[in-house]
Amino acid sequence: MKGLGNRNSKNFVVFIVLMGIIFSLYFYLNNNKQEETAQVKTEAEKLLAKDLEAEYPASPTTVVKLYNRISKCLYNGKWDNDEVNQLIDMIRKLYSSELLVNNPEEKHNQSFKSDIAEYQDKKRKISDYRVDGNGQMVTWEKEGIEYASLNAIYYIAENKNHDEIYQNFVLKKEGKQWKILGWTNIPEIDIEE
């Protein structure tokens, strides 16, 4: 009898230890899944995590691509006012000093928010965009200042209709950074990335 009671005690201890290991493993795996889920960022969060002071786009093409990425995010998403303001501020960091002077911050923010609201009211979205690659970009120098011109196309979806908007961007080099001087709508063109 004495040996049987000792064996039951050992089995009970082994059972408790195994249950502890199983529960620990379950909670460990469950917490990792929750952390992975929590780490998924929205496009706005990814953009706002960029530090343009430290990692400013290196070429006119990458400046326009970032501008378009932010615009697509703004026009297509439902963001709180804080995120919208931060994203618009980020866009303004891509603008030349002349464009900033011609678009005072408060007026620019109101205009941008009005455009976003119009897109959302009409259920319009930027489904995609393309930007000329560096090989298609035109560059020139005037009075010691470097300029660049390149084209972009936006694919717009509104209800079941699809449209394309073509734009030409002009950038100027301020210091070591390419800044957007302006853009204009243009007739249909071919974009080569």
Give this prediction's pTM.
Answer: 0.77
If we measure between CA atoms, which residue out of 14, 18, 20, 79 comes closest to residue 46?
79
- Percent of the chain residues past pLDDT 70, beyond the cut: 82
What does the pLDDT read at residue 5?
A: 58
What does the pLDDT read at residue 2?
A: 55
What does the pLDDT read at residue 132?
A: 85
- Residue 108's contacts (CB-CB under 8 Å, 6 or more residues apart) are 88, 92
The CA angle 166-120-49, to the nearest 5 degrees, is: 80
Alpha helices in 40-148 (DSSP H): 43-48, 60-76, 81-92, 97-102, 105-121
- pLDDT average, residue stretch 57-84: 93
